[in-house]
Structure 1
Amino acid sequence: MSETHATIRSGAPVFPPGRYGRRREPGRRRPVLAGLLALALAAVLGLVTVRLYQQYGDPEYDATVITYTGITDTQVLVDFRVTVPPGGSAVCVLRARDRAGAEVAREQVTVTARPGERHVTTQHRLATSGRAFIGEVLRCRPPT
């Protein structure tokens, strides 16, 4: 025999008493705690963003490889152009890789612009431990 309760809306499921355990009461919401956690997360993400931008994203120090030539078993000549603040200098990391992608040379080069100039075009010879396939500029940053 089934029970019909007068207080239950039509269409709502009726569970036999004791069969499925006690129904939970709706939990109390804590909007202040959720807001504080969201604010703390936003602050941490903001700090990480600023730190990564300072480390990798300075647009004043931009390098472009023009060409790499003079490839032998012991060297590669890398021509590159660096954008720096007017009259400033930069420390650039150059590397050469072989055909398989292994690094065969890495060197730091300091370039300095003439007073009032923002661009420095230079050529640097990288001494390699094997035959290079490509010469590249990994990054440029302010001198420390």
Structure 2
Amino acid sequence: MSETHATVAPDTPVFPPGRYGRRREPGRRRPLLLALVVAVVLALLGLGAAKLYTQYGDPTYQGEMISYTGITDSRVVVDFRVTVPPGGSATCLLRARSHDGAEVGHVEATVSAEPGQRHVRSRQEVPTSARPFIGEVLRCRPAG
């Protein structure tokens, strides 16, 4: 028959004394402290990411379509505007598509802004392999 004490609950196991070491008391949980530490760490990581993006991130190179004219069987002339960092330059990909949506021509155009200016307006001819229906600016990126 096993030994039971009056102070021990009936469903609690009784271990032989000294055999398994000292049992720890359950610690107090501190969910508020844990949430505060997580919030501080996330805020610091966010600030670090914002600083690095500001320092090393790509500035915006935005190409805007103004018009397309001069459509013939072998070309289209695209007028476009590019927003670059002040005095910067960009390489833009222009393309021409036929009436059924197929690409019939593309060209890369490099444009440069005057010192202190952020916008460049340019006109570029896009040679095509068939009659184009539309000319467009696909994307602009830093020149180089």
| Aligned residue number for residue 137 of structure 2 | 137
Q: How does 1:33-112 map to 2 (within 5 A)?
A: 60-112=60-112
TM-score (norm 2): 0.60
Give the Cα separation in 2 of the matches to 1:139 and 1:113. 17
- For structure 1, list consecutive stretches of 5 or more residues without a partner in the other structure: 1-53
Give the Cα separation in 2 of the matches to 1:124 and 1:132. 15
Amino acid paired to 1:81:
R
| Aligned residue number for residue 128 of structure 2 | 128
Shift of 1:58: 5.2
Give the Cα separation in 2 of the matches to 1:59 and 1:88. 10
Give the Cα separation in 1 of the matches to 2:121 and 2:62. 12
Amino acid paired to 2:96:
A
Give the Cα separation in 1 of the matches to 2:124 and 2:62. 17
Amino acid paired to 2:86:
P
4+ residue runs over 3 A deviation: none
Give the Cα separation in 2 of the matches to 1:133 and 1:126. 12
Q: Percent identity?
A: 62
Shift of 1:143: 1.5
Give the Cα separation in 2 of the matches to 1:79 and 1:128. 16
TM-score (norm 1): 0.60
Q: How does 1:8-27 map to 2 (within 5 A)?
A: none
| Aligned residue number for residue 53 of structure 2 | none
Q: CA deviation digits over 1:51-106, x for unaligned, max 9?
A: xxx9xx95620011000000000110000000000000001000000000000101
Give the Cα separation in 2 of the matches to 1:129 and 1:84. 31
